[in-house]
């Protein structure tokens, strides 16, 4: 099913941020089946349980991709599936969202802890703050933040907290090194959540994969230029495909 692409969304904001990109991709290639799958909601913040649910529900032998947390989950699932995954693409997705050993280009631990505490105390205010960070670097950040928040689903507070726990625990460096299929990773130069240096760090870790940095863009760059991002993805799929 090299004509099938599954996209996974980021934390808290649902599938709507990916819809313009999916539409642009379908417009470029009528034979490409693009599907956006919501993130699972297991009653746990254990990444393996999330991956088990995704592995059970998503079709085999498709391209896997995702934005932010969705890209991290797609990376881990691609490594788990190996040859049963056609290839991988991630958008504004850091192999480690929070700083860890050997990966400084990520969110500081104390900043993330404050974010987690805020989500426990007031999920809606935290989601609003998150949408503003996603929109940082956009040509019209306030408008984009409102758009992101307006499209967000009504997620239970416990599910939001579980998602943050998964975000903090996932480290996809080994998964990315283990996965032998084609990979494309796109980052943003003005990202308020994933430092731009993550792009060069990833290229140093994986010199044989495609890594791109969109300089004048923020975390939600897929909303600012869905057609440009779709063009880059379509070129990657074409170059990596059987033809």
- Would you please indicate which residues are annotated as catalytic (active-site) residues? 68, 191, 219
Gyration radius (Cα) of the chain, Å: 16
In this structure, the dihedral spanned by the alpha carbons of residues 13, 14, 17 and 23, taken in order and rounded to 10 degrees, is 180
Element (H, E) at 117: helix 109-121
> DSSP assignment, residue 211?
E
Cβ neighbours of 157 (radius 10 Å): 14
List CB contacts of 148: < 8 A, sequence separation 6 or more: 13, 16, 17, 131, 134, 135, 220, 223
DSSP state, residue 179: -
């Amino acid at each position: 099913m090299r004509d099938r692409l599954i996209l996974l969304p980021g934390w808290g904001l649902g599938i709507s941020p990916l819809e313009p990109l999916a539409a642009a991709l379908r417009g470029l290639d009528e034979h490409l089946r693009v599907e956006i799958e919501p993130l699972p909601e297991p009653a746990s913040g254990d990444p393996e349980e999330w991956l088990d649910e995704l592995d059970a529900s998503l079709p085999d032998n498709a391209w896997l991709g995702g934005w932010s947390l969705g890209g991290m989950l797609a990376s881990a699932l691609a490594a788990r599936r190996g040859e049963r995954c056609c290839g991988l693409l991630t958008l504004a997705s850091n192999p480690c969202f929070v700083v860890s050993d050997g990966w400084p280009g990520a969110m500081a631990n104390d900043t993330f802890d404050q974010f987690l505490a805020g989500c426990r105390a007031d999920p809606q205010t935290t989601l609003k703050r998150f949408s503003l960070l996603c929109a940082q670097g956009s040509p019209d950040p306030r408008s984009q933040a409102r758009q992101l928040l307006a499209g967000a689903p009504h997620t239970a507070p416990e599910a939001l907290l579980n998602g943050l726990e998964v975000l903090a625990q996932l480290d996809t460096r080994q998964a990315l090194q283990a996965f032998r299929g084609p990979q494309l990773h796109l980052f943003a130069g003005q990202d308020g959540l994933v430092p731009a240096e993550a792009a060069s760090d990833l290229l140093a870790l994986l010199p044989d994969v495609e890594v791109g940095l969109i300089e004048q863009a923020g975390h939600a760059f897929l909303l600012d230029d869905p057609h440009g991002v779709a063009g880059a993805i379509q070129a990657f799929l074409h170059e990596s495909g059987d033809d």
